[in-house]
Structure 1
Amino acid sequence: MDPSSTAHVEADALLDAGVPATASQTSAERPWPLRRLSENLKLHIERAPATWIEGQLIEYKNNRGNVYMTMRDLEEEYSLPVTAWRNVAVTFEGTVQQGSRVVARVKPNFWTKAGRLSMVVQEMRPVGLGDLLARVELLRRRLGEEGLLDPARKRPLPLLPGLVGLITGRDSDAKKDVLRNAQLRWPAVRFEVREVAVQGPEAPRQVAAALADLDADPAVDVIVIARGGGALEEVVLPFSDEALVRAVAAARTPVVSAIGHEADRPVLDDVADVRASTPTDAAKRIVPDAAQEAAGIAEARRRLAAAVERRVQREGEGLAQLRSRPVLADPVVMVDGREQDLHAWRERARRATAHRLTRERDAVEHLVARVRALSPQQTLDRGYAVVQQEGRLIRDAAQVAPGEDVDILVASGRISAEVTAVRPGRVGGPGTVQDEDEQAGTKEQA
């Protein structure tokens, strides 16, 4: 060991005698020397492992072979100075320049003499377009697995939007195309325009902010994100940003993607509710064509009038067929036929009634004859009489005695008589009056 180095170490040991071992033990009376802090910071910082980072080079300066650069985050306003020493810078070979999108393997370095922290580049390579497109496809597959590309999620556009939200570049051709073509198709269409950056690192964030603003407006019925053609990295990459496409998928208002790049589709086209190939195509999709609608209405009216005319003609022909039938050609025929039937029925009813009356009259006369034959008057008419005493019917001669008064009811009138003799016995038996009369009659015949 060099005697001078040994002396320096011994001096440091004497100087550090009684110095606090850790920063938390320092105080105003027992401070650390600046050298101690710088060396400890260097030891602590340089323990950090090398890290791969991605960003865009916004500054690039070559000073005698050493390259001093500034990298900016691709989405947020963060930047970091990095340094590539000569032995690393020679590997760039012109592939890295200001504006390039790169990935770099960096390791922190602390310069104790000046207290300066720097990030030293150990390796740097540009992010190729193929790598970026591979990332886009990977994102597309991941979103597909989550179901964000499912056609069932896509909402239909309103037939006639009251207010259209338009997100496009500042004074861009895409803006003019959408406004002009939409107004040509439907002059009453109204727009709410948000002009934002449509390329570069700021584009995804600004488009997403404008989308959130328009989506929060209840008057906006549909939102169009429009950009004209351009280079692949200018068109596909900004509109394949994961944060932006997720914001579109979460929007409550239907979104139309009108990114004019047919060769490679940004992920926004797959997530949006409707994909238009160009801004002009978007204008055709969001509003109907007034002239075409008027022609359609005229055609519908013509077809309706023709259908009504055919229906009237068909019904007229049906009425003519009905009127040509005999019953309608001469309606009296049907009445005459029914009149004849009515007369026949009345005659049949009259004959049946007369026959029934005759038959029933004969039956009544027969019954009357029977009733009359059985009546007491008929018996009296045949010569019989009814004897009563004080309203009591005399059925037996033994009920009266000689000298009593009786009433005799004959066929016509009454006779008051006095009983002079009583001869009991049944009428028609031996020794009776009938028997005596019969005997007398027999004698007279002899």
Structure 2
Amino acid sequence: MVARKKNIVSENRPDGMSVSEITALVKENVEKNFPDIWIIGEISNLTRASSGHIYLTLKDESAQLRGVVWRGAVPMLAIEPADGLEVLCHGRLEVYAARGTYQVSIDKMHVVGMGVLESRLLLLREKLLQEGLFDPHRKRPLPEFPKRIVLVTSPSGAAICDFLETLKARWSVAEVFVMSVRVQGAGAAEEIAEAIRQANLLSLPIDALVIARGGGSLEDLWAFNEEVLVRAIADSRIPVVSGVGHEIDITLADLAADVRALTPTDAAVKVSPVLTQVLDLLNGLLHRAHTALVQRANQASERFDSWSRRLAMHEPSRTIQDRSDFLDRTSSHLASVMRVNVERASERLRAAAAQLEANSPLAILARGYCVAWTDDHVGVLHSIANVQSGAFLTTQCTDGRIISRVLKTESVLPVAPH
């Protein structure tokens, strides 16, 4: 009887779904119905993997949701994620079948309200202030006539154009090395800090380092309030000019820099003299030297006249005549020598200015050419055989230089003639 009852139960039992089947069904429905969502929550349990991915938990008072920011999406975040921040995230829900869990894949992130950011800013500012990073005694003066300037900025923003155009109009003889970085979003602060460190490792002497970015909200400019960037500015052996935002925007990078500029344009003004004013100054000094020489010649002539009159009182007519003739010749010769020297000095100044302008690399490169060489400066780069992957290249263009790193090299076979 027992065996028969078991057979009846077995015959009436419905077919079941496997774990994989039910999970696949859940995954299909979840990912199909939640491909584009916005979620508000507080970040906790944030972890940065060595792969570059960011793992976190979004929570409110009654629930939690796991989240992930894949490495490729990190640069698109408007703010650097941190535990305790209340954020608005955009993404899609995903089911991880191997664990039977679901998570949100985040591709955008914004802070909810500025109160949290402002509180973090005040705490960090007080901390760095106590360490002396904003001490006015740490500020260094900028060189009066800079030869080489490093510009750290975004290659696509208005800041780079404003800076280079202003600098070219004021002090075109300076060489500019442009280091391209992101100036907004997660990871931007680390990228700018690394560019500052690389600039300090260049073999060429650099006179000034300029950080430039246009204006924006507190969230947009948050990279310039990150501790890693502020410390890189403070550690730089090259004087740093911070030209970030507009006049009303003040960041911790501004406070740590040697010179704060109101805008990228103002940064170009603060880092450079005006070439025409320098030439006017040289001409003024030349005029003063000429005037001083003439005055000394006139004084010498007057002394000779005085001596001649004294001798005449004793009637040494021949001696007086000889002295008078000598004085006339000497005065004439001196005046002639002074005129010649002044004219030669003026000509040398004009020739030097013309030669400086003619030999400027910018004048040669203005025709559209660029020249590249490796960081060890063994010569101009003629072949890919002379450069290795990972090496730094310096590319000279008409409006500045670009520092770049070689990812790989590819040979190009010559096209066979038809």
TM-score in terms of structure 2 length: 0.51
Q: Aligned in 2, Cα 1:185/1:114: closer, same or farther, shift over 3 Å?
A: closer
Which of 277, 280, 295 in structure 2 is aligned with 1:295?
Answer: 280
- The correspondence of residues 215-230 of structure 1 with structure 2, limited to 5 A, is 215-219=200-204, 220-230=206-216
User: Are 1:169 and 2:144 an aligned pair?
Assistant: no
User: Are 1:233 and 2:219 an aligned pair?
Assistant: yes
Cα pair 1:161 1:286 within 8 Å, conserved: yes
Q: Aligned in 2, Cα 1:105/1:192: closer, same or farther, shift over 3 Å?
A: closer
1:326-380 deviation line (CA, Å, top 9, x unaligned): x4543649x9xxxxxxxxxxxxxxxxxxxxxxxxxxxxxxxxxxxxxxxxxxxxx
Which of 55, 66, 72 in structure 2 is aligned with 1:80?
Answer: 55
Aligned residues: 254
Cα pair 2:214 2:264 within 8 Å, conserved: yes
Q: Aligned in 2, Cα 1:324/1:75: closer, same or farther, shift over 3 Å?
A: farther
**Structure 1 residue 190 displacement after superposition:** 1.6
Which of 141, 157, 182 in structure 1 is aligned with 2:142?
Answer: 157
Structure 2 counterpart SS, 1:232: coil
1:44-67 deviation line (CA, Å, top 9, x unaligned): xxxxxxxxxxxxxxx98479xx98
- The correspondence of residues 43-442 of structure 1 with structure 2, limited to 5 A, is 61=37, 77-82=52-57, 84=59, 87=62, 104=84, 128-219=113-204, 220-235=206-221, 237-325=222-310, 327=311, 329-330=313-314, 332=316
Aligned equivalents of 1:86 and 1:170: distance in 2?
Answer: 43
Aligned letter for 2:212? Answer: A
**Structure 1 residue 323 displacement after superposition:** 3.3
Q: Aligned in 2, Cα 1:81/1:304: closer, same or farther, shift over 3 Å?
A: same
What RMSD in Å do the two structures reach over aligned CA positions? 4.1
- Residue 402 of structure 1 corresponds to none
Looking at CA atoms only, which structure, 1 or 2, has the larger radius of gyration?
1
Structure 2 counterpart SS, 1:148: coil
Structure 1 unaligned segments of length 5 or more: list them.
1-58, 90-97, 107-112, 120-124, 336-446
Cα pair 1:75 1:201 within 8 Å, conserved: no
1:372-409 deviation line (CA, Å, top 9, x unaligned): xxxxxxxxxxxxxxxxxxxxxxxxxxxxxxxxxxxxxx
1:81-128 deviation line (CA, Å, top 9, x unaligned): 535579569xxxxxxxx968685599xxxxxx9956789xxxxx9563
Aligned equivalents of 1:146 and 1:75: distance in 2?
Answer: 31
**Structure 1 residue 324 displacement after superposition:** 3.1
**Structure 1 residue 259 displacement after superposition:** 0.8
- Residue 417 of structure 1 corresponds to none
- Residue 18 of structure 1 corresponds to none
Aligned sequence identity (%): 32
Q: Aligned in 2, Cα 1:184/1:310: closer, same or farther, shift over 3 Å?
A: same
Q: Aligned in 2, Cα 1:224/1:83: closer, same or farther, shift over 3 Å?
A: closer
**Structure 1 residue 198 displacement after superposition:** 0.6
Aligned equivalents of 1:162 and 1:323: distance in 2?
Answer: 56
Cα pair 1:240 1:266 within 8 Å, conserved: yes
Cα pair 2:209 2:238 within 8 Å, conserved: yes
Structure 2 counterpart SS, 1:234: coil
Aligned equivalents of 1:272 and 1:68: distance in 2?
Answer: 33
Structure 2 counterpart SS, 1:324: helix
- Residue 55 of structure 1 corresponds to none
Structure 2 unaligned segments of length 5 or more: list them.
1-34, 65-76, 87-96, 104-109, 320-418
Aligned letter for 1:267? Answer: L
Query: Which deviates the most, 207-216 or 314-323?
Result: 314-323
Cα pair 1:83 1:118 within 8 Å, conserved: no
TM-score in terms of structure 1 length: 0.49
**Structure 1 residue 246 displacement after superposition:** 0.3
Higher relative contact order at CA 8 Å, sep ≥6: structure 1 or structure 2? 2
Cα pair 2:44 2:59 within 8 Å, conserved: no
Q: Aligned in 2, Cα 1:207/1:307: closer, same or farther, shift over 3 Å?
A: same
